[in-house]
Amino acid sequence: MTKFAFDRKIVVRGGGDLATGVIQKFVRAGFPVVILEIGAPTAIRRGVALCEAVYDGAAQVEDIVCRKVAGVHECEDCWRAGAVPILIDPVGAAIAEIKPAAVVDATLAKSNLGTHRGMAAITIALGPGFSADQDVNVVIETMRGHDLGRLIFQGSASADTGIPGDIGGESVQRVLRAPAAGVIQHVKQLGDIAEAGAVLFTIGGEEVRAPFTGVLRGLIRGGLRVPKGMKVADIDPRTDVNWRTISDKARNLGGAALEAFFLFAKTALPAT
């Protein structure tokens, strides 16, 4: 049976790759964590996203195991087994029953889909779309650069530019979007090294090719129907990149979220 260092429950809204970095930090620090997800997650970096448990029943990223549960009543058994429960609950209806010490919005939706300060004593949000001290207690900067991971106590994170951060000398080209609406069918698989010009996948009968040689670090789940223009893949020019481990950005944001929790816990939570 897992013994937690703290009896304060943490709800993390979202189970994508960046949220997984947050979840790992809280779990390793000794907190029972519950993930709330939508019914059909569309994570690109599926290899490091715990939300894949929604489809497969279970998922593991590094040392963190996640299991899908049907309701809050199954969370305790999940924790006893040393796993993180994930519950389909896009609106956060279960939060009132869970009674968490903190809610972390890590959906990275670039807009507030309903997270508010009344959900818990401590509320934390990642990225743009939230105003610190109004919507939530603290906002965390998610834009790559000098301020990545900075805690914002008044105002908002940097607005989304739509331009991916530079990795290995590539920016805009490394993010691949659906050329048409339709069902995605894989030709290459997640983690494959693709040569420039190789067909990666098809959508609605249209082929999408690698713009340069690199590792297919992100690829949306096959068989999903996607709208035109949706981000569906991410190719990394660093052919030696470890796509199976949590990214530097996700670890940075996870550390920032844990820092924010302990900072506010000093005054926001009653002593135990």
Q: What is the DSSP string of 178-223?
A: -SSSEEEEESS-TT-EE-TT-EEEEETTEEEE-SSSEEEEEEPPTT
Bridge partners of residue 152, in order along the sequence: 139
Residue with the two structure tokens 């807009």: 111
Buried b (16+ CB within 10 A) or exposed e, 243-254: beebbebbbbbb
- What DSSP character marks residue 149? T
The residue assigned the tokens 């790559």 is 144
164-218 residue pLDDT tens: 666 666 567 889 999 999 999 999 999 999 999 999 999 988 999 999 999 999 9
Which pair of structure tokens corresponds to residue 32?
A: 């029972």
CA pair distance 144, 142, nearest whole angstrom:
6
Please report the pLDDT score of residue 165 as a whole number.
Answer: 62
Low-confidence ranges of the chain (pLDDT < 50): 1
Please tell me the predicted confidence (pLDDT) of residue 1.
46
Kindly state the DSSP code that residue 49 receives in the 8-state scheme: -
Q: List, in order of start, the domains of the chain with CATH numbers.
A: 10-158+248-268 (3.40.50), 172-236 (2.40.50.100)
Q: Give me the long-range contacts of 114-122 (CB less than 8 A, separation at least 24).
A: 115/13, 119/11, 119/92, 119/95, 120/11, 120/95, 121/264, 121/268, 121/269, 122/260, 122/261, 122/264, 122/265, 122/268, 122/269
Q: What is the pLDDT of residue 166?
A: 62
For residues 210 and 173, the answer to whether their CB atoms sit within 8 Å is no
> 268 in helix, strand or coil?
helix
Rounded distance, CA 82 to CA 75, Å? 11
Q: Residue 204 has what pLDDT?
A: 87
